[in-house]
Amino acid sequence: MNRFLPLLLLISGALCVAQSGSIPAPTNTPGQEYPRILPDHSLIFRIKAPDAQNVQVQMGKTYDMTKDADGVWSVTVPPQVVGFHYYSLVIDGATVSDPASMSFFGANKMSSGIEVPESDADAAYYTVQDVPHGEVRQFRYYSKVTETWRRAFVYTPPGYDNGVTRYPVLYLQHGGGEDEHGWVIQGKADIILDNLIAEKKAVPMIIVMDKGYAVAADKKPYVQAPGEPVDMNRAFSLLAFEKVMISDLIPAIDRSYRTIPDRDHRAMAGLSMGGAQTFYIVLNNLDKFAYLGGFSGVPGGNGGPVINTKTDFGGVLADADVFNKRMKLAWFGIGTEEPGTMSQGMQAFREAITKAGIKYVYYESPGTSHEWLTWRRDLKEFTPRLFKEIK
């Protein structure tokens, strides 16, 4: 019965007394004591690599590790802001995930992630509580645009089963290099909505989380000519995700779930790349959506050209009065610790739409960076403003 011993040892290991003053990261694999988080939010990383010449932690910056007599490399990384941070180890030039951490799909690969925790009180809204729980469901649908079966995750609110109520729908997108797992795993979207709904801060809604990439069946991706600015409308159109959403996903969701299938009960939001996608897709399809949210993500949000509010999107922003009546909510958020290009892009975008007379709500997440804690907070602030007419 030797195969059970590792399990028993693992569980015993998890019960060890923690190193004084520090805790294992909540994102570690079961039973792993490292990475550890110190009270000041500095982080200790360790890995056994007895024959390596050079081992580093990459988390924004690069931190050199040092080797002890047992071949274990370690480093204490200076204090980090709270929230979820992707990171990698570099072992003699090979960039790999930390085997002691869970992996998360980001940067187009399985990446290590470390959650630097907030206080329990601050984290309560994305912590599982003793409230009714909705479900996250894996939903398969066929896309005529891509001629493939695709998979989205769908949050259904508590009480969905065995009911007859119809619900409004939020389409919620991940960032560049992430996929449809992002909002479920890193974002904890279902937990946040369960808690908001239990407190009656948000109305029960369905949330659809798809992968924001698509290649049309003709397999012609958008290719930028050398030196030419990226044409976002063209890029997104040819990348086919907009077509997938409008032609395939929304109809499939409306067929398969008890939705209220009209624009007044349909919202779209996304983070980073997904925020920019949201802006383009909603403004190109105002007959389909009445609410939009950009979480650390707007057109030009990372140093691109500022939008032209007179001519972009077929000119729907040109008459602010008309636009403000059609859009029930335009909502934008950013973390105060985001890199300069992000905050400058958001600033330039806000100046452009403010000057054009576009009404919007703006939120800054204090002390957080371009990462999932900012976006969890965004979701918590954004969703209570949706579908307010529903009792």
Footprint on residues 54-73 left by a copy of itself (CB under 8 A): 54-55, 71
Which of 57, 244, 250, 273 forms a contact with a copy of itself (CB under 8 A)? 273
∠ at Cα 195 (189, 201), nearest 5°?
105
Q: Which residue from 37, 43, 100, 352 is in contact with a copy of itself, where contact means CB under 8 A?
A: 100
Q: For strand 169-173 and strand 266-271, is the pairing parallel, antiparallel, or unpaired?
A: parallel
Interface residues for a copy of itself in 235-254 (CB under 8 A)? Answer: 235, 239
Q: Which of residues 71-90 bind a copy of itself (CB under 8 A)?
A: 71, 89
Of 93-101, 165-173, 197-205, 317-325, the window that binds a copy of itself (rule: CB under 8 A) is 93-101
- Cβ proximity to a copy of itself, 5 vs 121, nearer residue: 5
Taking CB under 8 A as the rule, does residue 256 contact a copy of itself? yes
Asked if residues 353 and 362 have their Cβ atoms less than 8 Å apart, the reply is no
Query: For residues 156-215, which are near a copy of itself according to CB under 8 A?
Result: 161-162, 176-177, 184, 190, 213, 215
**Which one of 43-51, 242-250, 323-331, 359-367 is the stretch in contact with a copy of itself (CB under 8 A)?**
43-51
Residue 79 three-state SS: coil
Identify which of residues 55 and 386 has a Cβ nearer to a copy of itself in the complex.
Answer: 55
By the rule CB under 8 A, 5 interacts with a copy of itself: yes
> What is the per-residue DSSP string for 188-247?
-HHHHHHHHHHTTSS---EEEE--S----TT-----PPTTPPP-HHHHHHHHTHHHIIII
d(CA 25, CA 387): 37
**Segment interacting with a copy of itself (CB under 8 A) among 19-27, 117-125, 195-203, 295-303:** 295-303
List of residues 6+ apart from 322 with CB closer than 8 A: none
Q: Which is nearer to a copy of itself, 43 or 102 (CB)?
A: 102
Q: Is the dihedral of CA 263, 157, 388, 211 positive or negative?
A: negative
Hey, how many other C-beta atoms are within 10 angstroms of the C-beta on 371?
26
Tally helices (H) and strands (E) across the chain.
11, 19
Rounded CA gap, 178 and 338, in Å?
Answer: 18
Min dist CB 40 to a copy of itself, Å, is: 28
Give yes or no for residue 228 binding a copy of itself (CB under 8 A).
Answer: no
Q: Is 144 in the site for a copy of itself (CB under 8 A)?
A: no
- Between residues 102 and 327, which has the closer beta carbon with respect to a copy of itself? 102
**Spatial distance between the Cα atoms of 173 and 278, rounded to a whole number of angstroms:** 8
**Three-state SS at 132:** coil
Task: Report the nearest approach of a copy of itself to the CB of residue 365 (Å).
Answer: 20
Residue 361 touches a copy of itself, criterion: CB under 8 A: no
Site for a copy of itself in 296-355 (CB under 8 A): 300, 302-305
**Restricting to residues 112-131, which ones interact with a copy of itself according to CB under 8 A?**
128, 130
- The one among 26, 78, 99, 159 contacting a copy of itself by CB under 8 A: 99
Stretch that binds a copy of itself, among 4-12, 242-250, 314-322, 348-356 (CB under 8 A): 4-12
DSSP assignments along 336-378, one per residue:
TTS-HHHHHHHHHHHHHHHHTT---EEEEETT--SSHHHHHHH
Q: Closer to a copy of itself at the Cβ: 156 or 365?
A: 156
Give the containing element (helix H, strand E) for 106: strand 103-106
Q: Output the six-digit token pair for 191.
A: 């937990």
What is the total count of residues that contact a copy of itself (CB under 8 A)?
Answer: 82
Least spacing, CB of residue 308 vs a copy of itself, in Å: 15
Q: Residue 333 class from Cβ within 10 Å (0-12 exposed, 13-18 middle, 19+ buried)?
A: buried
